[in-house]
Amino acid sequence: MTTNRIILQWILALTAASGLLLATSIQAQPPVKVDPSKNVYIPHAEDRVATLRVGAVYNQQDIQIRYEFITDNPSWYHQYWIYEGGEWVRYGSGALGPDQHGLYEDRISMMLDDGSVDGFDRYGGYMTVHDGVRTLSSAASRDEVRAHPVLGREMGRSDIRKYLPSTRDAQGDELSWHKLKDSAELDAMRQRGEFLDLWQWRAHRSHPVGYADNNYVLHYRLNSEGRGAFTTNWDADNQQPAWMYNPEITGITHLERERLLAREYSQQDWYYLSEAIAKPFDPDHEWQEGDVLPQRFLREPSGSRGAIRASGGYQEGAWRIQLTRSLDSPNVLDSKTLRHGESYNVAFAVHTNASGARWHLVSLPQTLGLGIEQADIVAQKVDGDLNAAEVVWTELKVFYPGQTTWKWLHSDGHPGKTAVESGAIGVRHIHSADDMIDLSVEVEKQRIATPN
Protein backbone atom coordinates (compact mmCIF):
# COMPACT_ATOMS: atom_id res chain seq x y z
CA MET A 1 0.00 0.00 0.00
CA THR A 2 1.47 3.36 -1.02
CA THR A 3 1.92 6.37 1.23
CA ASN A 4 -0.51 8.40 -0.92
CA ARG A 5 -3.17 5.73 -0.66
CA ILE A 6 -2.87 5.61 3.14
CA ILE A 7 -3.12 9.40 3.39
CA LEU A 8 -6.11 9.32 1.06
CA GLN A 9 -7.84 6.78 3.31
CA TRP A 10 -7.33 9.06 6.31
CA ILE A 11 -8.75 12.02 4.36
CA LEU A 12 -11.76 9.96 3.31
CA ALA A 13 -12.23 8.85 6.91
CA LEU A 14 -12.41 12.48 7.97
CA THR A 15 -14.78 13.61 5.24
CA ALA A 16 -16.94 10.54 4.64
CA ALA A 17 -20.44 11.75 3.81
CA SER A 18 -21.91 8.54 5.16
CA GLY A 19 -20.96 9.55 8.67
CA LEU A 20 -19.67 6.07 9.44
CA LEU A 21 -16.18 7.34 10.31
CA LEU A 22 -15.65 10.23 12.70
CA ALA A 23 -12.84 12.76 12.73
CA THR A 24 -12.38 11.90 16.40
CA SER A 25 -11.51 8.31 15.49
CA ILE A 26 -7.98 9.32 14.51
CA GLN A 27 -5.60 12.05 15.50
CA ALA A 28 -6.98 15.52 14.82
CA GLN A 29 -3.86 16.88 13.12
CA PRO A 30 -2.04 15.43 10.07
CA PRO A 31 1.18 13.53 10.77
CA VAL A 32 4.59 15.06 10.10
CA LYS A 33 5.82 12.10 8.08
CA VAL A 34 4.39 8.78 6.91
CA ASP A 35 6.42 6.01 5.29
CA PRO A 36 4.89 2.52 5.69
CA SER A 37 7.92 0.89 4.05
CA LYS A 38 9.97 1.98 7.09
CA ASN A 39 7.25 1.69 9.74
CA VAL A 40 7.23 5.48 10.02
CA TYR A 41 4.32 7.57 11.27
CA ILE A 42 5.51 10.72 13.06
CA PRO A 43 2.58 12.45 14.77
CA HIS A 44 1.80 16.15 14.53
CA ALA A 45 3.41 18.30 17.25
CA GLU A 46 0.07 18.66 19.06
CA ASP A 47 -0.21 14.88 19.34
CA ARG A 48 3.35 14.32 20.58
CA VAL A 49 2.91 15.55 24.15
CA ALA A 50 0.35 15.34 26.94
CA THR A 51 0.10 15.30 30.73
CA LEU A 52 -0.42 12.23 32.90
CA ARG A 53 -1.32 12.80 36.55
CA VAL A 54 -0.20 10.06 38.94
CA GLY A 55 -1.02 9.62 42.63
CA ALA A 56 -0.63 6.77 45.10
CA VAL A 57 -1.88 5.65 48.51
CA TYR A 58 -1.29 2.50 50.54
CA ASN A 59 -2.32 0.85 53.79
CA GLN A 60 -1.05 -2.19 55.67
CA GLN A 61 -2.02 -4.62 52.90
CA ASP A 62 -2.40 -2.86 49.53
CA ILE A 63 -1.16 -0.06 47.33
CA GLN A 64 -3.32 1.92 44.91
CA ILE A 65 -1.92 3.76 41.88
CA ARG A 66 -4.23 6.41 40.42
CA TYR A 67 -4.16 7.95 36.96
CA GLU A 68 -5.85 10.98 35.45
CA PHE A 69 -5.38 11.52 31.74
CA ILE A 70 -7.35 14.19 29.88
CA THR A 71 -8.42 13.27 26.35
CA ASP A 72 -11.30 14.27 24.11
CA ASN A 73 -10.82 11.10 22.07
CA PRO A 74 -11.06 8.16 24.49
CA SER A 75 -11.21 4.62 23.14
CA TRP A 76 -12.63 1.67 25.05
CA TYR A 77 -12.90 -0.18 21.76
CA HIS A 78 -10.43 -2.72 20.47
CA GLN A 79 -10.48 -5.22 17.60
CA TYR A 80 -13.72 -6.63 16.18
CA TRP A 81 -14.98 -9.21 13.72
CA ILE A 82 -17.38 -7.76 11.13
CA TYR A 83 -19.42 -10.05 8.90
CA GLU A 84 -18.76 -8.94 5.32
CA GLY A 85 -19.32 -10.87 2.11
CA GLY A 86 -20.02 -14.08 3.99
CA GLU A 87 -16.77 -13.91 6.00
CA TRP A 88 -15.71 -12.56 9.37
CA VAL A 89 -13.23 -9.75 8.72
CA ARG A 90 -11.06 -8.31 11.49
CA TYR A 91 -11.11 -4.56 12.05
CA GLY A 92 -8.63 -2.76 14.30
CA SER A 93 -4.87 -2.42 13.89
CA GLY A 94 -2.14 -1.70 16.42
CA ALA A 95 0.47 -0.62 13.90
CA LEU A 96 1.49 2.51 11.97
CA GLY A 97 -0.13 5.24 14.01
CA PRO A 98 -3.81 5.58 14.89
CA ASP A 99 -6.29 3.00 13.71
CA GLN A 100 -8.33 4.60 10.94
CA HIS A 101 -11.59 3.44 12.52
CA GLY A 102 -10.63 4.25 16.10
CA LEU A 103 -10.80 0.57 17.05
CA TYR A 104 -7.81 0.23 19.36
CA GLU A 105 -7.92 0.55 23.12
CA ASP A 106 -6.37 3.25 25.29
CA ARG A 107 -3.73 1.95 27.74
CA ILE A 108 -1.70 3.30 30.63
CA SER A 109 1.40 1.32 31.63
CA MET A 110 3.89 1.48 34.47
CA MET A 111 7.26 -0.28 34.60
CA LEU A 112 8.53 -0.64 38.17
CA ASP A 113 11.82 -1.81 39.68
CA ASP A 114 13.22 -2.07 43.19
CA GLY A 115 16.81 -1.31 42.18
CA SER A 116 17.60 -4.81 40.90
CA VAL A 117 17.84 -3.73 37.24
CA ASP A 118 21.03 -1.73 36.86
CA GLY A 119 20.47 1.41 34.81
CA PHE A 120 16.67 1.57 34.88
CA ASP A 121 16.81 4.49 37.32
CA ARG A 122 18.93 6.42 34.79
CA TYR A 123 17.37 5.46 31.46
CA GLY A 124 13.87 4.19 32.17
CA GLY A 125 12.06 2.68 29.21
CA TYR A 126 14.89 3.46 26.80
CA MET A 127 16.65 0.36 28.20
CA THR A 128 13.93 -1.86 26.77
CA VAL A 129 13.90 -0.57 23.17
CA HIS A 130 16.30 -2.24 20.74
CA ASP A 131 16.96 -2.47 17.04
CA GLY A 132 14.89 -5.38 15.75
CA VAL A 133 11.85 -4.66 17.94
CA ARG A 134 8.51 -4.77 16.10
CA THR A 135 7.27 -1.64 14.29
CA LEU A 136 10.69 0.02 14.33
CA SER A 137 12.25 0.74 10.95
CA SER A 138 14.86 -1.85 11.94
CA ALA A 139 12.29 -4.50 12.92
CA ALA A 140 13.42 -8.09 12.49
CA SER A 141 11.41 -10.01 9.90
CA ARG A 142 8.85 -12.60 10.92
CA ASP A 143 10.89 -15.32 9.22
CA GLU A 144 14.05 -14.31 11.12
CA VAL A 145 12.27 -14.45 14.48
CA ARG A 146 10.48 -17.71 13.72
CA ALA A 147 13.83 -19.31 12.81
CA HIS A 148 15.41 -18.33 16.15
CA PRO A 149 15.88 -21.50 18.25
CA VAL A 150 14.41 -19.95 21.43
CA LEU A 151 12.31 -16.91 20.49
CA GLY A 152 10.75 -18.58 17.46
CA ARG A 153 10.91 -22.36 17.77
CA GLU A 154 10.62 -22.64 21.55
CA MET A 155 8.51 -19.59 22.45
CA GLY A 156 6.50 -19.48 19.22
CA ARG A 157 7.10 -15.78 18.61
CA SER A 158 7.19 -14.03 15.26
CA ASP A 159 8.24 -10.55 16.41
CA ILE A 160 10.54 -8.96 18.98
CA ARG A 161 9.15 -6.99 21.91
CA LYS A 162 10.84 -4.99 24.67
CA TYR A 163 13.65 -6.67 26.60
CA LEU A 164 16.51 -5.85 28.96
CA PRO A 165 19.98 -5.49 27.42
CA SER A 166 21.45 -7.64 30.21
CA THR A 167 19.60 -10.66 28.77
CA ARG A 168 21.78 -10.60 25.64
CA ASP A 169 25.42 -11.51 25.00
CA ALA A 170 26.13 -8.27 23.16
CA GLN A 171 27.80 -4.92 23.67
CA GLY A 172 25.65 -1.81 23.77
CA ASP A 173 26.37 -0.86 20.15
CA GLU A 174 25.69 -4.33 18.69
CA LEU A 175 22.50 -5.69 17.21
CA SER A 176 21.40 -7.83 20.11
CA TRP A 177 17.87 -9.23 19.72
CA HIS A 178 19.08 -12.66 18.52
CA LYS A 179 22.03 -13.00 20.98
CA LEU A 180 19.99 -14.43 23.83
CA LYS A 181 21.74 -15.70 26.95
CA ASP A 182 21.11 -19.34 27.82
CA SER A 183 18.10 -20.37 29.86
CA ALA A 184 20.12 -21.03 33.03
CA GLU A 185 21.43 -17.46 33.05
CA LEU A 186 17.96 -16.04 32.40
CA ASP A 187 16.46 -18.17 35.17
CA ALA A 188 19.15 -16.93 37.56
CA MET A 189 18.37 -13.31 36.66
CA ARG A 190 14.70 -13.92 37.31
CA GLN A 191 15.45 -15.55 40.66
CA ARG A 192 17.48 -12.46 41.61
CA GLY A 193 14.61 -10.18 40.67
CA GLU A 194 16.47 -8.66 37.70
CA PHE A 195 13.30 -7.95 35.73
CA LEU A 196 10.88 -5.05 35.41
CA ASP A 197 7.39 -5.34 36.87
CA LEU A 198 4.93 -4.15 34.20
CA TRP A 199 1.41 -2.99 35.12
CA GLN A 200 -0.76 -2.52 32.02
CA TRP A 201 -4.19 -0.97 32.37
CA ARG A 202 -6.17 -1.79 29.24
CA ALA A 203 -9.41 0.05 28.50
CA HIS A 204 -10.92 -2.90 26.63
CA ARG A 205 -8.95 -6.08 27.25
CA SER A 206 -9.03 -5.96 31.07
CA HIS A 207 -10.89 -2.97 32.54
CA PRO A 208 -14.48 -4.15 31.82
CA VAL A 209 -13.92 -7.20 34.05
CA GLY A 210 -12.25 -5.12 36.78
CA TYR A 211 -8.53 -5.79 36.27
CA ALA A 212 -5.29 -4.51 34.82
CA ASP A 213 -2.86 -6.87 33.11
CA ASN A 214 0.18 -8.00 35.12
CA ASN A 215 3.32 -8.61 33.02
CA TYR A 216 7.08 -8.37 33.35
CA VAL A 217 10.08 -7.58 31.14
CA LEU A 218 13.13 -9.83 31.06
CA HIS A 219 14.29 -11.28 27.72
CA TYR A 220 10.87 -10.46 26.26
CA ARG A 221 7.68 -8.79 27.42
CA LEU A 222 6.23 -11.75 29.28
CA ASN A 223 2.95 -12.55 31.00
CA SER A 224 2.94 -13.12 34.72
CA GLU A 225 1.92 -16.51 36.12
CA GLY A 226 -1.73 -17.44 35.76
CA ARG A 227 -4.60 -16.87 33.33
CA GLY A 228 -4.99 -13.48 31.66
CA ALA A 229 -8.18 -11.42 31.49
CA PHE A 230 -8.46 -11.79 27.71
CA THR A 231 -8.06 -14.32 24.95
CA THR A 232 -8.95 -14.45 21.26
CA ASN A 233 -12.56 -14.95 20.22
CA TRP A 234 -11.84 -17.22 17.26
CA ASP A 235 -12.46 -20.81 16.26
CA ALA A 236 -9.54 -21.51 13.92
CA ASP A 237 -10.86 -24.91 12.83
CA ASN A 238 -14.12 -23.46 11.53
CA GLN A 239 -12.86 -19.96 10.65
CA GLN A 240 -15.48 -18.21 12.73
CA PRO A 241 -15.84 -16.58 16.15
CA ALA A 242 -15.98 -18.93 19.10
CA TRP A 243 -18.45 -16.85 21.16
CA MET A 244 -21.41 -14.53 20.64
CA TYR A 245 -23.58 -12.42 22.91
CA ASN A 246 -26.16 -14.32 24.96
CA PRO A 247 -29.46 -12.58 24.10
CA GLU A 248 -31.11 -13.87 27.29
CA ILE A 249 -28.66 -11.71 29.27
CA THR A 250 -27.81 -8.83 26.92
CA GLY A 251 -30.87 -8.67 24.66
CA ILE A 252 -28.56 -8.86 21.60
CA THR A 253 -26.64 -11.45 19.59
CA HIS A 254 -24.22 -8.96 18.02
CA LEU A 255 -23.27 -5.31 17.62
CA GLU A 256 -24.03 -3.20 14.54
CA ARG A 257 -21.31 -2.04 12.13
CA GLU A 258 -22.70 1.47 11.63
CA ARG A 259 -22.88 2.16 15.36
CA LEU A 260 -19.46 0.63 15.98
CA LEU A 261 -17.65 2.61 13.26
CA ALA A 262 -19.35 5.75 14.53
CA ARG A 263 -18.13 4.72 18.00
CA GLU A 264 -21.59 5.18 19.47
CA TYR A 265 -21.35 2.37 22.03
CA SER A 266 -20.87 3.88 25.47
CA GLN A 267 -19.19 2.43 28.55
CA GLN A 268 -22.66 1.36 29.68
CA ASP A 269 -23.22 -0.67 26.49
CA TRP A 270 -21.98 -4.18 25.64
CA TYR A 271 -19.01 -2.95 23.60
CA TYR A 272 -17.02 -5.92 24.97
CA LEU A 273 -17.74 -9.65 25.21
CA SER A 274 -17.04 -11.59 28.40
CA GLU A 275 -17.73 -15.06 29.73
CA ALA A 276 -20.51 -13.64 31.92
CA ILE A 277 -22.57 -12.45 28.94
CA ALA A 278 -21.60 -14.91 26.19
CA LYS A 279 -22.76 -18.17 24.70
CA PRO A 280 -21.03 -20.45 22.17
CA PHE A 281 -21.15 -19.11 18.62
CA ASP A 282 -24.11 -20.39 16.60
CA PRO A 283 -23.15 -20.85 12.92
CA ASP A 284 -26.81 -21.51 12.07
CA HIS A 285 -27.88 -18.07 13.28
CA GLU A 286 -28.92 -15.89 10.33
CA TRP A 287 -25.87 -13.65 10.35
CA GLN A 288 -26.31 -10.51 8.27
CA GLU A 289 -23.91 -8.19 6.46
CA GLY A 290 -22.47 -5.77 9.02
CA ASP A 291 -23.02 -7.90 12.13
CA VAL A 292 -20.21 -7.41 14.65
CA LEU A 293 -18.61 -9.47 17.42
CA PRO A 294 -15.60 -8.45 19.57
CA GLN A 295 -12.34 -10.11 18.55
CA ARG A 296 -11.31 -10.39 22.22
CA PHE A 297 -13.05 -12.58 24.79
CA LEU A 298 -12.80 -11.41 28.40
CA ARG A 299 -12.74 -13.63 31.48
CA GLU A 300 -11.85 -13.71 35.15
CA PRO A 301 -8.04 -13.82 35.42
CA SER A 302 -6.14 -15.94 37.93
CA GLY A 303 -2.81 -16.11 39.73
CA SER A 304 -0.29 -13.31 39.54
CA ARG A 305 -1.66 -12.31 36.12
CA GLY A 306 -4.88 -11.28 37.86
CA ALA A 307 -3.31 -9.56 40.88
CA ILE A 308 -4.07 -5.94 39.88
CA ARG A 309 -7.65 -4.79 40.33
CA ALA A 310 -8.96 -1.86 38.28
CA SER A 311 -11.81 0.60 38.85
CA GLY A 312 -12.91 3.98 37.53
CA GLY A 313 -13.47 4.93 33.91
CA TYR A 314 -13.78 7.84 31.53
CA GLN A 315 -15.42 10.67 33.45
CA GLU A 316 -15.69 14.41 32.82
CA GLY A 317 -13.24 14.48 29.94
CA ALA A 318 -10.53 12.26 31.43
CA TRP A 319 -9.63 8.70 32.22
CA ARG A 320 -9.78 8.46 36.03
CA ILE A 321 -8.41 5.06 36.95
CA GLN A 322 -7.51 3.29 40.20
CA LEU A 323 -5.24 0.22 40.21
CA THR A 324 -4.96 -1.77 43.45
CA ARG A 325 -2.56 -4.58 44.29
CA SER A 326 -1.16 -6.19 47.43
CA LEU A 327 2.07 -4.72 48.77
CA ASP A 328 3.42 -8.26 48.90
CA SER A 329 4.42 -9.65 45.54
CA PRO A 330 1.80 -12.07 44.18
CA ASN A 331 4.74 -14.01 42.71
CA VAL A 332 8.36 -13.00 43.34
CA LEU A 333 9.36 -14.40 39.94
CA ASP A 334 7.28 -11.84 38.02
CA SER A 335 6.25 -9.02 40.41
CA LYS A 336 7.98 -6.73 42.93
CA THR A 337 7.22 -6.46 46.63
CA LEU A 338 6.57 -2.90 47.87
CA ARG A 339 7.43 -1.73 51.39
CA HIS A 340 6.84 1.32 53.57
CA GLY A 341 9.92 3.55 53.72
CA GLU A 342 11.32 2.33 50.39
CA SER A 343 11.73 4.05 47.04
CA TYR A 344 11.17 2.46 43.62
CA ASN A 345 12.09 3.38 40.06
CA VAL A 346 9.16 3.77 37.68
CA ALA A 347 8.42 4.87 34.12
CA PHE A 348 5.03 5.41 32.49
CA ALA A 349 3.51 5.13 29.02
CA VAL A 350 0.13 6.18 27.61
CA HIS A 351 -1.47 4.76 24.47
CA THR A 352 -4.12 7.15 23.22
CA ASN A 353 -5.81 8.22 19.96
CA ALA A 354 -6.52 4.56 19.13
CA SER A 355 -2.82 3.82 18.66
CA GLY A 356 -0.88 0.69 19.56
CA ALA A 357 2.68 -0.67 19.53
CA ARG A 358 5.34 2.08 19.73
CA TRP A 359 2.95 4.93 18.93
CA HIS A 360 2.52 5.99 22.51
CA LEU A 361 3.65 8.74 24.90
CA VAL A 362 6.28 8.00 27.55
CA SER A 363 7.67 9.63 30.67
CA LEU A 364 11.25 10.07 31.75
CA PRO A 365 12.26 7.73 34.63
CA GLN A 366 10.72 8.72 37.96
CA THR A 367 10.81 7.58 41.59
CA LEU A 368 7.89 6.31 43.65
CA GLY A 369 8.35 6.61 47.41
CA LEU A 370 6.19 4.87 49.99
CA GLY A 371 6.13 7.33 52.84
CA ILE A 372 9.29 8.99 51.49
CA GLU A 373 9.00 12.67 50.66
CA GLN A 374 12.20 12.73 48.57
CA ALA A 375 10.52 11.07 45.61
CA ASP A 376 8.85 12.29 42.44
CA ILE A 377 5.63 10.48 43.32
CA VAL A 378 4.90 10.26 47.02
CA ALA A 379 2.54 7.46 48.09
CA GLN A 380 0.63 8.45 51.22
CA LYS A 381 0.07 5.87 53.95
CA VAL A 382 -3.52 5.73 55.21
CA ASP A 383 -5.69 3.58 57.40
CA GLY A 384 -8.73 1.86 55.96
CA ASP A 385 -10.32 2.15 52.52
CA LEU A 386 -7.90 3.22 49.80
CA ASN A 387 -10.73 4.32 47.50
CA ALA A 388 -11.76 6.97 50.03
CA ALA A 389 -8.25 8.34 50.59
CA GLU A 390 -6.87 11.60 49.22
CA VAL A 391 -3.74 11.51 47.06
CA VAL A 392 -0.99 13.97 46.28
CA TRP A 393 -0.92 14.28 42.51
CA THR A 394 2.24 14.48 40.42
CA GLU A 395 1.95 15.86 36.90
CA LEU A 396 4.19 14.11 34.38
CA LYS A 397 4.80 15.29 30.85
CA VAL A 398 4.59 12.33 28.48
CA PHE A 399 5.96 12.56 24.94
CA TYR A 400 6.37 10.62 21.71
CA PRO A 401 9.68 8.66 21.97
CA GLY A 402 10.37 8.15 18.28
CA GLN A 403 12.92 5.44 17.44
CA THR A 404 15.57 6.03 20.08
CA THR A 405 17.02 2.58 20.77
CA TRP A 406 19.59 1.28 23.24
CA LYS A 407 21.96 0.56 20.35
CA TRP A 408 21.68 4.15 19.08
CA LEU A 409 22.35 5.54 22.57
CA HIS A 410 25.68 3.65 22.47
CA SER A 411 26.51 4.76 18.94
CA ASP A 412 28.73 7.56 17.68
CA GLY A 413 25.57 9.28 16.44
CA HIS A 414 24.56 9.99 20.04
CA PRO A 415 26.47 12.92 21.63
CA GLY A 416 25.84 11.38 25.04
CA LYS A 417 27.42 8.01 24.18
CA THR A 418 30.26 8.40 26.71
CA ALA A 419 27.85 9.31 29.51
CA VAL A 420 25.67 6.27 28.75
CA GLU A 421 28.61 3.88 28.66
CA SER A 422 30.13 5.24 31.86
CA GLY A 423 26.82 4.92 33.72
CA ALA A 424 27.59 8.13 35.57
CA ILE A 425 24.47 10.08 34.65
CA GLY A 426 21.04 9.36 33.24
CA VAL A 427 18.63 10.92 30.79
CA ARG A 428 17.10 13.26 33.38
CA HIS A 429 20.52 14.77 34.11
CA ILE A 430 20.83 15.87 30.49
CA HIS A 431 17.34 16.27 29.08
CA SER A 432 14.01 17.58 30.31
CA ALA A 433 10.73 16.22 29.00
CA ASP A 434 10.40 19.45 26.99
CA ASP A 435 13.75 18.71 25.32
CA MET A 436 12.61 15.25 24.34
CA ILE A 437 9.47 16.38 22.48
CA ASP A 438 11.45 17.67 19.50
CA LEU A 439 14.67 15.72 20.04
CA SER A 440 12.90 12.35 19.71
CA VAL A 441 11.56 13.34 16.29
CA GLU A 442 14.92 14.66 15.10
CA VAL A 443 16.57 11.38 16.10
CA GLU A 444 13.91 9.39 14.26
CA LYS A 445 14.33 11.47 11.10
CA GLN A 446 18.11 11.00 11.22
CA ARG A 447 17.82 7.27 11.79
CA ILE A 448 15.38 6.58 8.97
CA ALA A 449 17.53 8.68 6.61
CA THR A 450 20.58 6.50 7.39
CA PRO A 451 20.57 2.80 6.39
CA ASN A 452 20.83 0.45 9.40
pLDDT digits (tens, 9 = 90+) for 47-92: 999 999 999 999 999 999 999 999 999 999 999 999 999 999 999 9
Q: How far apart are CA 147 and CA 153, in angstroms?
A: 7
Q: Is residue 266 part of a domain?
A: no
Phi, psi (degrees; rounded to nearest 5) at 441: -70, -40
Specify the amino acid at residue 343.
Answer: S
Is 428 part of a structural domain of the chain? yes
C-alpha 214/C-alpha 197 separation (Å) is 8
Question: What pLDDT score does 9 carry?
Answer: 40
Per-residue b/e over 236-245, b at no fewer than 16 CB within 10 Å? eeeebbbbbb
Predicted local confidence at residue 310, as pLDDT = 98
pLDDT at 373 over 70: yes
Q: Is residue 261 part of a domain?
A: no
Strand partners, 197: 112, 216
Whole-number pLDDT of residue 4? 39
State the Cα–Cα distance between residues 384 and 404, nearest whole angstrom: 44
Query: What DSSP designation does 134 have?
Result: T
Q: How far apart, in Å, do the first and last CA atoms of the chain sit?
A: 23
Assess if residue 273 is contained within a domain.
Answer: no
User: pLDDT value at position 102?
Assistant: 96
Residue 366 Cα distances to 77, 268, 346, 373, angstroms: 30, 35, 5, 13
Q: Identify whether 184 is part of a domain.
A: yes
The total number of structural domains that make up the chain: 1
Predicted local confidence at residue 29, as pLDDT: 84
Helix, strand, or coil here: 65? strand
The alpha carbon dihedral of 378, 383, 388, 390 has a sign of negative
SS3 call for 385: coil
> Average pLDDT, whole number, for the chain?
93
**Looking at the domain assignment, is residue 76 inside a domain?**
no
Domain assignment present for 306 = yes
CA 426 from centroid of its chain's CA atoms: 24
Q: How many CA atoms lie within 13 A of 72 on its CB side?
A: 6
pLDDT confidence bin for 197, thresholds 50/70/90? very high
Q: What is the pLDDT of residues 180-196, one digit of tens each?
A: 999 999 999 999 999 99
Does residue 3 register a pLDDT over 80? no
- Name the pTM for this structure: 0.93
pLDDT of residue 43: 96
Residue range(s) defining the domain that contains residue 181? 49-71+106-229+300-449
In a domain, 83, yes or no: no
Tell me the C-alpha distance between 273 and 267, whole Å. Answer: 13
How open is the CA angle 354-110-294, to the nearest 5 degrees? 35
So what's the pLDDT on residue 28? 60
pLDDT tens per residue across span 425-443: 899 999 999 999 999 999 9
CA diameter of the chain: 66
Percent of the chain residues topping a pLDDT of 90: 90
Q: Which of 22-26, 266-270, 299-303, 394-398 has the lowest mean pLDDT?
A: 22-26
Q: Does the structure show a pLDDT above 70 at 451?
A: no
pLDDT digits (tens, 9 = 90+) for 209-260: 999 999 999 999 999 999 999 999 999 999 999 999 999 999 999 999 999 9
C-beta separation of 239 from 339 below 8 A: no
The runs of H, that is alpha helices, within 55-136 are 120-123
